[in-house]
Amino acid sequence: MDIQQSLTNLAVTGNDNRVGLFFTNYQTNFEEEDTSRILFRDRWKQARGLSEGVARCPNPESTLRAIIKSFRESLATMFTTSSEEFDEPSSMVRDIQDQCQGAEESSRLLRACKKIDGFAHYLKSYFHVVEIFVTGDTDCSLLACSALHLVFSLSSRYVNIFETLADMLSKMTNMLPRYWHYLQRLRGQDLRGINSHFGYALSFLYADILQFCRDACQVLAPKCSAERSNEDNLFELLWAPIDIRFQLMLDRFQDLTELGGPRTSYKNERAPAPGVPEVDKEETIEWLKRGEGLKLFIEKVRKDLDTREEIRVNHEKRCELRKKKEMLYETRLRHIVQWMSPPDFVGGSCESSDYEQARRRRKPHSCAWILHDPTYASWKWRDESSSNILWLEAKPGFGKTTLSVTIIEDLRDAADEISTDMYSPFVAYFHFDLQRPDKRSYSDALRALIVQFIYSSAPDTEFIDAISLFKYPHNGEQQKPSVDNMMEIFLLCASRLPQLSLVLDGVDECEKFGDLLSLLVEACTRNKNLNIIFLGRPSVPLPIRYRNIVTRHSLHDSNRSDIRDYLLDELGELKGSNKLEDGLDLGELADILTLRADSMFLWATLMVSYLGLSAHSPAARTKTIQVTNCLQELDELYRELLKQYGKKTQAERDVLAKILHILIMAEHPPTLQQMKIAIAIIPGRSLSKADFLTNFPDALREICGALVEIRPDNTVQLVHLSLREVLCSEQTAHIDIPFKADSRSASLFLSVISLSYLIHDVPRRHLADSPQTIANTSELNNRFPFLEFAARTWVNHAIIAINSDASTLAELIPTCQPLVQQLLDFVRHSGSISMWIEACWTYGFAPSIVHLWEALDRRRHSPTPVTQRSPVEMEIEPFIERIQSLSQDLNRLHIEWHHLLQIRPYEIWGASISGFMGPLSWARNIDAKLYLIGSEHLHESNTETIIVRSKVSDCGRLIGVVKILRPSNVE
């Protein structure tokens, strides 16, 4: 490239914003892109490796030494010991490879090492050039190799980060100027008269390489308690997420490349192969001597750095820059939270609904006994004799979730007492709940804990950088975090916090708890200041290998005084309402009930509810309290409550039965509005205003009593998981109570009301108000609150009902008649099917009934000969075939059109899908006839081509060609 042309290009692009292209590639939100454009209009002002005053160093040697000094000082704030030193890049790579040999995922690490080796080869050539233009011993090669070795030694425990950093090195190798490989041939030449600007350019490049290492080390190194970023520090104010900083660095490399160089056709990174002409040395020397482009470039960089220095002494500009940085930080933080999708996270508050509900429900001064428990105190203050992990175990219904709130508050108070500007302990928590699908798995816990980490008291840009390395991987895709990614993020974040306490409640309700325990034990080995407390049932087994690591501590009888105080207050309320006999000693009654409660706070609350029932006389209540062993077991108390609720009116019993059926089998706890609709549905007709219960929250509490609770997020669920176990137990099935529950009857009920709602209560048309419009899920939930619940669950519940019942169609039809009737109506209404398909894709899942069809098909092929089948079986045969056709068409739809329906669900109503797929079980397009080009049905000799149009898909993998032909019989 001609020098003058290079300068022209540089003048044009010097203030451009290549970071915009970077954001496009990574599909970043436009709000973040706009913020970045404000901050990064000139990439050289963002060169944080060029420290204060380096722009005015008198020569390249002093510039390089200033860069090295600044880097060593910054590294000293992160590490107390010096890093290992290497004389040349190849030995550094070999040592990294040796470390990777015995590590987990060694094959992945070693593959990534090939990219490190490619960069090391470039460094070798680069340092030869530095030796030519920078005189004196600067140790730049030694320092760079040691810094890179440190980066990949630290990241070797995090395979995904190791791969990402290696890929970043590969991108750097591809972007670095190619003429370095030629200039090394000038060694030994007479270079007197060569200007020093080229040495400055080499120094600037070196500063970026070191800054890359420093940024990576800041993400990976344990956070020093004495380390606290200074918000007035200019380089802190210039912060941007690490992926943006990296792209800006690549842009600076591009600037160096665009300066041009000696003409050559050689483009390989390694040394020229035999027979390839070498670059003309005289031409190279002449290019260096002229130096006009280099001189202008260095002057421009110096000017940008001087402008940056002006901000340091200008308070107003620093304040403006700080606001822009905070805006970028908040934007990236919001995107990370959306990406992590933590459960029970609302509006930037880390307090979950479980925490808030337990805190509000807790009686004053209750649970204070835990603060004086010796085992807990030893764990809390990290005595040498205690382990990092404490397991507090107690029966179901003990009140462990309420206790966890007291523990969280106590740990936070203790952290506040010892917290300083330089040191801040942190407390995070999670409540597992099998009734909530987003709070069952250990991955749910990891997502919640990670978000709490990054929402810690002071903004931590390094946390943001660490997660950005996962969110913006080397392939440029923004996928949801995998479990593998979340485990690495958790380990990295946990290792960086100087002191961390985790409170995990309900671990007996955690799916794959063994995997979580293994991860937490590993985290404790990496951070000795990590303390973890579990709360769960004693029935959960602990693997032998962890018995010396985890301390199990029984809480039985610890809450006796809390239960007695609660019962004493409630008995006082009963006596004040004249529901107890006169002359009774309330303290004595409270003692009797406390003993029978046997540490189960839930039993105490249920007993109070039972005693408060209006069906009991004061004498009956006294007898219930005083009779030894009366309703002493939790299961027994549940069943007695169900018997009492069975004495309600028939209408109330019907509503309670529906509510219990829904809560037993619902995959997600229904909202109040969804529950209100569900119990009002009368299958086979649409809902009217007169069908709904008035004052529904109050009606729900009155009908369900203590069995059901309304949570702070307005969802409805059983008072405790133990009630579900009782309702579905074999023992309950053999007892004469009106609210027996089983998966078949509950699933049958749910599938029937869901289908009825889809058929009769949602219009058979586009879900949005206008065609060619993507329906907004929030608006849909307001207009049709039960739509997502019904669309998502009816198939699974129908399968459970069918599989739990008869073995033949003849036996199935009478027992599942309401479901069969709704299915018949559903397949007859093509508009309802299209609406359901659009709803499924709108809510982010693909519709399928293949397993439903298989369940019906197994019963169709029964041993009964065709001639002996009943008229009902013969009548239903066409219906079964319709189900089969619908299943096959939905499968074809997913294969051929999922890429379109994922982004535009409304296309299910358009002519394209039905036109291209041909006649469907629920849709038919008689206006369009479409044939594949080359089809035997297409005879172009008899037609005239009107238009031919082709289009390539956005992903670049598909191409469509449309030819419109006029038939020969049309004039």
Q: Cα angle vertex 59, ends 53, 62, to 5°?
A: 60
Give the pLDDT score at 223. Answer: 67
How far, in Å, CA of 635 to CA of 647, rounded? 19
Contact 532, 428 (CB under 8 A): no
Give the pLDDT score at 273. Answer: 42
Q: What are the structural domain ranges in the chain?
A: 51-223+238-259+282-311, 341-556, 561-631, 633-741, 750-925, 928-965
Instruction: Give pairs for 926-931: CB < 8 Å, separation 24+.
Output: none
Give the pLDDT score at 605. Answer: 94
In sequence order, the 6+-apart residues with CB closer than 8 A to the CB of 516 are 442, 445, 507, 510
Contact 429, 534 (CB under 8 A): no
Higher pLDDT, 236 or 511: 511
How far, in Å, CA of 806 to CA of 864, rounded? 14
Q: Is 365 left (phi over 0), alpha (psi -120 to 50) or beta?
A: left
> How do the residues of the chain divide into helix, strand and coil, expressed in percent and rounded to 5?
60, 5, 35
Q: Which amino acid is at 754?
A: S
pTM, rounded to two decimals: 0.81
Judged against a pLDDT cut of 50, whether residue 24 lies above it is answered with no
End-to-end CA distance of the chain: 60
Give the pLDDT score at 30. Answer: 39
Residue-wise burial string across 99-130, b where 16 or more C-beta atoms lie within 10 A, e elsewhere: bbeeeeeeeebeebbebbbbbbbbbebbbbbb
Higher pLDDT, 883 or 713: 883
Give the pLDDT score at 10. Answer: 25
- Which range is most confident: 412-416, 847-851, 965-969? 847-851
Provide the β-strand partners of residue 430: 504
In sequence order, the 6+-apart residues with CB closer than 8 A to the CB of 718 are 435, 663, 664, 707, 708, 709, 724
Helix (H) or strand (E) holding 960: strand 959-967
How far, in Å, CA of 817 to CA of 387, rounded? 59
Judged against a pLDDT cut of 70, whether residue 230 lies above it is answered with no
| Intrachain domains 341-556 and 633-741 with the same fold | no
Q: Identify the CATH number of the domain defined by range 633-741.
A: 1.10.10
How far, in Å, CA of 834 to CA of 826, rounded? 11
Q: Which range among 488-497, 539-548, 910-919 shows the weakest confidence by mean pLDDT?
A: 910-919
Distances (CA, A) of 952 to 486, 895, 914, 956, 962: 36, 19, 21, 6, 12
Q: What is the pLDDT of residues 325-336, one digit of tens each?
A: 888 888 888 888
DSSP helix/strand/coil, 739 = coil
Provide the β-strand partners of residue 963: 948
What is the band of 870 on the pLDDT scale with cuts at 50, 70, 90? low
- What is the DSSP secondary structure assignment for residue 349, as one 8-state letter? B
Higher pLDDT, 964 or 316: 316
Q: What is the pLDDT of residues 393-437, one digit of tens each?
A: 999 999 999 999 999 999 999 888 876 665 678 899 999 998 888
Q: What is the 3-state secondary structure (H, E, C) of 901-939?
A: HCCCHHHHHCHHHHHHHCCCCCCCCCCCCCCCCCCCCCC
How far, in Å, CA of 502 to CA of 491, rounded? 13
Fold of domain 341-556 = Rossmann fold (3.40.50)
Q: What is the pLDDT of residues 335-383, one digit of tens each?
A: 888 888 888 764 445 566 788 888 888 888 899 999 999 999 999 988 8
Identify which of 106, 154, 158, 109 has the alpha carbon closest to the alpha carbon of residue 488.
158
Contact 908, 837 (CB under 8 A): yes
How far, in Å, CA of 31 to CA of 27, rounded? 12
Judged against a pLDDT cut of 60, whether residue 475 lies above it is answered with no
Higher pLDDT, 318 or 233: 318
Q: Which range among 2-16, 67-81, 867-881 shows the weakest confidence by mean pLDDT?
A: 2-16
What is the band of 87 on the pLDDT scale with cuts at 50, 70, 90? confident
Higher pLDDT, 351 or 580: 580
Q: What is the DSSP string of 435-501?
A: TSGGGSBHHHHHHHHHHHHHTSSS--HHHHHHHHHHHS-TT---PPPPHHHHHHHHHHHHHHSSSEE
Identify which of 171, 177, 181 has the alpha carbon closest to the alpha carbon of residue 118.
171
Judged against a pLDDT cut of 50, whether residue 213 lies above it is answered with yes
Higher pLDDT, 10 or 777: 777
Contact 500, 412 (CB under 8 A): no
Q: Tokens standing for 341? A: 């999708």
Name the E strands within 601-759: 708-710, 716-718
In sequence order, the 6+-apart residues with CB closer than 8 A to the CB of 651 are none
Q: Which range among 22-36, 174-188, 624-638 shows the weakest confidence by mean pLDDT?
A: 22-36
Provide the β-strand partners of residue 45: none
Helix (H) or strand (E) holding 333: helix 315-340
Displacement of CA 954 from its chain's centroid (Å)? 26
DSSP helix/strand/coil, 335 = helix
How far, in Å, CA of 244 to CA of 27, rounded? 13
Q: Cα angle vertex 159, ends 140, 124, to 5°?
A: 25
pLDDT average, residue stretch 193-198: 67
Q: Cα angle vertex 310, ends 307, 313, to 5°?
A: 165
Q: Tokens standing for 754? A: 């869901």
Give the pLDDT score at 296. Answer: 82
How far, in Å, CA of 704 to CA of 679, rounded? 13
How far, in Å, CA of 656 to CA of 737, rounded? 13
What is the band of 17 on the pLDDT scale with cuts at 50, 70, 90? very low
Q: What is the pLDDT of residues 926-957, one digit of tens each?
A: 555 555 555 555 554 455 666 667 776 555 55
Alpha helices in 682-769 (DSSP H): 696-704, 721-727, 730-733, 743-760
How far, in Å, CA of 812 to CA of 798, rounded? 12
Q: Which range among 110-114, 118-122, 166-170, 382-386 shows the weakest confidence by mean pLDDT?
A: 382-386
Judged against a pLDDT cut of 50, whether residue 268 lies above it is answered with no
Judged against a pLDDT cut of 50, whether residue 121 lies above it is answered with yes
Higher pLDDT, 764 or 231: 764
How far, in Å, CA of 145 to CA of 99, rounded? 16
Contact 159, 228 (CB under 8 A): no
DSSP helix/strand/coil, 594 = helix
Q: Tokens standing for 788? A: 């997502």
- What is the DSSP secondary structure assignment for residue 224, as one 8-state letter? P
As a whole-number percent, the residues of the chain with pLDDT over 90 amount to 41
Q: What is the pLDDT of residues 55-67, one digit of tens each?
A: 678 888 888 888 8
As a whole-number percent, the residues of the chain with pLDDT over 70 amount to 80
Interhelix angle 242-257/461-471, nearest 10 degrees = 70
How far, in Å, CA of 180 to CA of 269, rounded? 10
Number of other CB atoms surrounding residue 751 within 10 Å: 28
Judged against a pLDDT cut of 70, whether residue 557 lies above it is answered with yes
Q: Tokens standing for 233? A: 């520090």
Q: Tokens standing for 458? A: 């002071």
What is the band of 266 on the pLDDT scale with cuts at 50, 70, 90? very low
How far, in Å, CA of 959 to CA of 952, rounded? 4
Q: What is the pLDDT of residues 248-258, one digit of tens each?
A: 899 888 888 77
Contact 191, 285 (CB under 8 A): yes
Average pLDDT, the chain: 81
Judged against a pLDDT cut of 60, whether residue 540 lies above it is answered with yes
